[in-house]
Chains A and B, each alone.
Chain A
Amino acid sequence: MSDPLSFDDVVGHRHIVVCCGTGGVGKTTVAAVLAVEGARRGRNAVVVTIDPAKRLANTLGLDSLSDTPHEIERDRWDPGGKAPDRGRLSALMLDTKSTFDHLVVKHAADDDQAQRILANTFYRNVSTALSGTQEYMAMEKLHELHEEGGYDLIVVDTPPTRHALDFLDAPRRLTRLLDNRIFRLLMMPTRAYLKAVGAGVQAFLRSVSRVVGSAVINDVVAFFRAFEGMEEGFRDRANEVLALLADGSSSFVLVTSPRRDAVEEATYFAERLAESDIPVEGLVVNRVHPRFGDERVEGLRARAETLTLKRAEAGVAAGDGAASAERLSSLYANLADFRQVAERERHHVAGVKARAGRAAVAYVPFLARDVYDFDALSEVARHLFSTATEPVGASPAQPSRSGP
């Protein structure tokens, strides 16, 4: 196995970085940190966010969904003026529907076909509510920024669904929908050899109409007719996206918390990515509890116990000693609690780390407050990069004895 990677390699040399992980682990924050650091190192960086927390969105100047990236003024992310001149930072908050509309317009044979699709009720539902559409459009946006944006570094957040890896499958999901046999038959009702099958299909659809109403079926049929001829373009595009993700200049970063359930999900992601021959290049374990030394939990619990007994003895004799023994006992019990949490976190992380191969691994401790401004992003960055740019303000660091 070759040398382990570092996050410096990831933001310094990769073209595309995809952050994946389950909900609530700080994926969007990590995506922002990577893009900011890229810009500070002189790259033209853009971060594509999906549903960021409000205050982080404000920091990135994202007040609403948008279809195009917006550049963040340099003095906000580089107030000291230390970044190389060519470094730039942009951000966008994915607008699933308008990205999809854009894609339809691009592939339609003419304006008339595009308008018929855009106006179709079924299309409007698919473009906003089909499961996996958000993932699909995140990847589509990535492809578009790659082709047309002129960026050195594109960092993409992924939606916080349980099936966060759907984006690998999402482009195929639409083509699978378009390939549905029953609806394909409907598009060719005039061909003689299909008539027999057609009758069966019609009967079936009548039954379906009984359940959902005929208006729905009519919309679907109209959609498939309108889409005629565009599948090929969509399929090619989907394949291009997958090829782009599998390219050596693309990088995947797993974000997890050290809790059992999050780690299980991260392990699952690592395995699925490996199946698709996509190596994980970075693993960020977020919100790690401090370790507080290396004493054994049992020993500390025994000390706490002994002191409690001492308190009982002292309680008979003198008041002050009892209070002190109780206080010291509770301090030991507390240390034992946190040592136990740290041991457990270390145990959980070991499993996913083993599957991450030569990926860069970083541990980000619990920070004193939520991460939503550039100062806090810099503080997180210090745990990812060997030579991260200093925090802008003077935010005191947490004890950094945190990595399991």
Chain B
Amino acid sequence: MDLASFCSPRVLIVAGKGGVGKTTVTATLATAAARAGLSVLIVEVEGKSGLAACFGKPPLGYEEAELAPGIRGRTLTPDEALLDYLHSHGMRRISRRLVRSGALEVVSSAVPGMKDILVLGKVKSLEVGRAADLILIDAPAAGHAISFLMSPRGLGDAVRVGPISKQSTEVIEMLSDPARCQVVLVTIPEETPVSELVDTAFALEDRIGIQLGPVVVNGCFPDFGSPVTVDEVQSLADELGVFVSPREALDLAAAADFRHDRHAVQQEQADRLAARLPLPQIRLPFVFTADIGPDEIDVLAAAFEGEVAALPAAASVS
């Protein structure tokens, strides 16, 4: 598959359990798409993520900011999305008061998912307005991602008329059209995150009817061959005529063992994921050298491109 068809839905929602590197994957995907010549808009919905730091930039605000050539980013908050919405629908006068009086807090408590629908509604208007070739959503952590995406359906019962109801109908249309919107789930190759990803995947498909794209398995140790004993390290050294202290031999062997064991566990979990969830996998390597910054994102983006290129073209559903 080429990157352009991977990115053919105009909105990709990147979702996964906390701590699996969702934000890193969002930045990686954005970079790969930008390299393929697409303009990208990243939308943060939870605030305070390390997204901007991945690009070496200060934290995002509601207004768009450039993160890298071809990549812009912004944070969507319900309050500002509502103000935007009311302004553009001739209700400027009540909008400020609604937020300032705290009535929004009361009303959004009255209508669960109200805040989510405001944010998704804004995403939809960005999508309809073609704000970018690709809009990437750094979604809330897994459990909340489901309620976030469920919000327009839940809302239907509470609010049957008016602009919010219309908004949710339009959002549902976007979410259930694979040509417009898909979800990219992210996990790490470990038991609990894999199990939870499978649950999330079925919930998204069954309850929301949203199309799932390939799954990203993050933090994979590259294959390292067989483990090695201390004696084997010493005999390698002897053969080559180099000095390796006993302590160093121990560390070399222990590190190789650890790498081998973790790799085996990861492989097992990635295979289990493949068996339980028939979706193509994109495996991104564990980054040893540094915390995630622009250089690491470049490395990951290159790996991402390689993995996407290796996917069968049939994996593209549209």
Q: Which residues of A contact B (CB under 8 A)?
A: 22-25, 51, 53-55, 121-122, 125-126, 128-130, 160-162, 176-177, 180-183, 204, 207-213, 215-217, 219-220, 257, 259-262, 290, 292-293, 295, 307, 310, 320-321, 324-325, 327-328, 330-332, 334-335, 337-338, 340-341, 344, 366, 368-370, 372, 399
CA distance A292 to B111 in the complex (A): 54
Say whether B165 contacts A213, CB under 8 Å: yes
In angstroms, Cα B107 to Cα A338, docked, is 51
From A208, A262, A290, A366, give the contact of B94 (CB < 8 A). A208
Residue among B94, B193, B244 with max Cβ neighbours from chain A (10 Å): B94
Q: List 19 A-B contacts (CB under 8 A).
A: A122-B110, A129-B112, A160-B18, A161-B144, A208-B98, A210-B91, A211-B164, A293-B251, A295-B248, A324-B240, A325-B240, A334-B259, A335-B256, A338-B258, A341-B288, A344-B290, A344-B291, A370-B190, A399-B258
A293's nearest neighbour on chain B, judged by CB, is: B251
Bound: A129/B23 CA distance, A: 25
- B contact residues around A370 at 8 Å (CB): 190-192
Tell me which residues from 148 to 173 in chain B have a Cβ below 8 Å from any Cβ of chain A.
Answer: 158-165
Residues of B within 8 A of A22 (CB): 18-19
Q: With A and B bound together, what is the CA distance between A332 and B259 in angstroms?
A: 13
Residue in A55, A177, A213 with the greatest tally of chain B CB atoms within 10 Å: A213
Q: Decide if A261 touches B50 in the complex (CB within 8 Å).
A: yes
Interface contacts beyond A212-B162, A341-B288: sample of 7 additional A-B pairs, CB < 8 Å, sorted by A: A160-B143, A216-B107, A216-B158, A220-B110, A257-B19, A295-B248, A330-B225
B259: A residues at CB distance < 8 A: 334, 338
- Per the bound structure, the CA–CA distance linking A160 and B242 in Å amounts to 51
| B residues in contact with A122, CB < 8 Å | 109-110
Specify which of A23, A181, A324, A368 is in contact with B236 (CB 8 Å cutoff): A324
Q: What separation, in Å, do the CA atoms of A369 and B291 have in the docked complex?
A: 25
A335 touches B240 (CB 8 A): no
Q: At the interface, yes or no: B224 with Cβ under 8 Å from chain A?
A: yes
* A-contact 0/1 string along B34-78, CB 8 Å cutoff: 000000000000111010000000000000000000000000000
Chain B residues closer than 8 Å to A334, beta-carbon distance: 224, 252, 255-256, 259
Say yes or no for B105: interface residue by CB 8 A criterion. yes
Q: B143 → chain A, closest Cβ, in Å?
A: 7
Is the pair B265, A369 in contact by a Cβ cutoff of 8 Å?
yes
How many whole Å from A269's CB to the nearest CB in chain B? 13
Known pairs A208-B107, A212-B107, A338-B258; A327 contacts B19 (CB<8 A): no
Instruction: Judge whether A125 and B111 touch: CB under 8 Å.
Output: yes
Q: What number of A-B contacts does a CB cutoff of 8 Å give?
A: 195
Please state if B17 and A24 are interface contacts (CB–CB under 8 Å). yes
Residues of A within 8 A of B47 (CB): 162
| Contacting residues, chain B, for A210 (C-beta < 8 A) | 91, 162-163
Determine if B233 is an interface residue (Cβ-Cβ < 8 Å): yes
Shortest CB-to-CB span from B130 to chain A, Å, is: 27
Whether B272 is near chain A, meaning CB under 8 Å from some CB there, is no
Cβ-defined contact, A212 with B233, below 8 A: no
- Shortest Cβ distance from A243 into chain B, in angstroms? 26
Q: Which of A183, A217, A219, A292 contacts B254 (CB 8 A)?
A: A292
> Given A24-B19, A180-B103, are A216 and B110 neighbors across the interface (CB < 8 Å)?
yes
- The B contact surface, by secondary structure, is helix
Q: Report if B15 contacts A (CB, 8 A).
A: no
Given the known interface contacts A324-B239, A328-B233, the answer about A53 and B196 at a Cβ–Cβ threshold of 8 Å is yes
Q: Which residue of A lies closest to B105 (CB)?
A: A177
The 4 closest A-B pairs by CB, nearest first: A24-B19, A23-B18, A129-B112, A337-B288
Least CB distance from A213 to B in Å reads 5
Name the A residues within 8 Å of B311 (CB-CB).
none
**Smallest Cβ-Cβ distance to A130: which chain B residue:** B109
Determine the distance from Cα of A135 to Cα of B97 in the docked complex, in whole angstroms: 29
Return the chain B residue nearest A268 by Cβ: B48
Docked complex Cα distance between A258 and B225 (Å): 27
Contact of B86 among A130, A211, A335 (CB under 8 A): A211
Q: Which of these, A24, A324, A335, contacts B251 with CB under 8 Å?
A: A335
* B144: A residues at CB distance < 8 A: 161
Between A130, A176, A211, A344, the greatest number of chain B beta carbons within 10 A of the residue's beta carbon is seen for: A211
CB distance from A369 to the nearest CB of B (A): 7
In the complex, A388 Cα to B40 Cα: how many Å?
53
Is B254 a contact partner of A290 (Cβ separation < 8 A)? yes
